[in-house]
Structure 1
Amino acid sequence: MKPATAALKLDIYLPATPQEFQDGMVSREDLDELQRNPPQWLADLRREGPHPRNVVAARLRISNSGLARAGITEALTTAQIADLAANPPEWLVQERATHAETLREQRRLEERKQDGTDKVTVPAKPAKAAKPARRQSPSSRGGRSPRR
């Protein structure tokens, strides 16, 4: 697989990886080995960062969209994430509340779906009015054919 796909599966920021990882292809066996026995560079990258957007969002307990709304486009290190979490700016407090509300709504809808109460009755469409019968030509009625 491509290095970008492998980085996504490993939850690491591709530009921060070693050049040989970025240049080569990664087999499924290599990926499994990296997950089971991460080399030092991978362990350091996971511990200290920089981290990709999905990891930053998860650690801040907000959505990826929340990061975008806040203008956070670059990868953040673990120290930067910890600083934001320790001293949350107003946007982070608001995004956490928004994300928590979204998750509550998703859970509510999922529970409702599992309970079977999610069935919304939609009124039936009114029957279409019958079209008026088409006038038959004189020849089809057994009469004389029209003049030409």
Structure 2
Amino acid sequence: MTSHQTAQTMKPATAAKKLGVYLEATPAEFQEGVVSRTELNSLQTDPPAWLQELRANGPHPRPVVASKLGVSIAGLARGGVTEALTTEQIEALKTDNPEWLQKERATQAEVRKETVRIKEKQKEKDAQRADQPRGPRS
């Protein structure tokens, strides 16, 4: 008896997320079908023109917008940005540097510093535990 392996597939929304693109901006055939793991790998290694265009100019999904602006997704929402933005719109926001963006960037910087501090503290605790002699095992 031979076993048939079925190709692993995913919904277009999942594939778009993995590709870092805004689903609604993708071609209709991409949105309406399913994407196999092989097709996804092919799109990642040899992106077609439409994917290159989306990655370069957008519209970009919120995680990409947040990353390009140096803020969190929640920070985008607090700033009133709820839609996908193009690269041009992102650059305009960076140039205008509104007060909400300055505040959210500062908040994000503090979060990063705190994350580093916690990691360092954990490393110290781990090192102290490693240095402590262990009692006999029973």
TM-score by length of 1: 0.78
Matched positions, count: 119
More helix by share: 2
Instruction: Answer with 54-63 or 106-115: which moved more.
Output: 106-115
Aligned to 1:62: 71
Residue pairs, 1:85-100, within 5 angstroms: 85-100=94-109
Q: Distance in 2 between matches of 1:92 and 1:56?
A: 12
Aligned to 1:130: none
Displacement, 1:112?
A: 0.9
Displacement, 1:107?
A: 0.9
Alpha-carbon displacement from aligned partner over 1:88-145 (angstroms, at most 9, x marks no partner): 000000000000001100111011111217x9xxxxxxxxxxxxxxxxxxxxxxxxxx
Alpha-carbon displacement from aligned partner over 1:67-95 (angstroms, at most 9, x marks no partner): 01111100000000001111200000000
1:34 counterpart = 2:62: no
- The aligned amino acid for 1:106 is T
- The aligned amino acid for 1:32 is N
SS state at 2:35 partner: coil
- The aligned amino acid for 1:38 is P
1:17 counterpart = 2:23: no
1:116 to 109, 125, 138: 125
Q: Percent identity?
A: 57
- The aligned amino acid for 1:39 is P
CA RMSD of aligned residues (A): 1.4
Residue pairs, 1:70-89, within 5 angstroms: 70-89=79-98
- The aligned amino acid for 1:96 is R
Structure 2: gaps spanning 5 or more residues: 1-9, 129-138
Structure having the higher Rg: 1
Runs of 4+ in structure 1 displaced over 6 angstroms? Answer: none
Alpha-carbon displacement from aligned partner over 1:22-48 (angstroms, at most 9, x marks no partner): 000000000000000000000000000
Q: Distance in 1 between matches of 2:105 and 2:30?
A: 35
Aligned to 1:106: 115
TM-score by length of 2: 0.83
- The aligned amino acid for 2:22 is Y
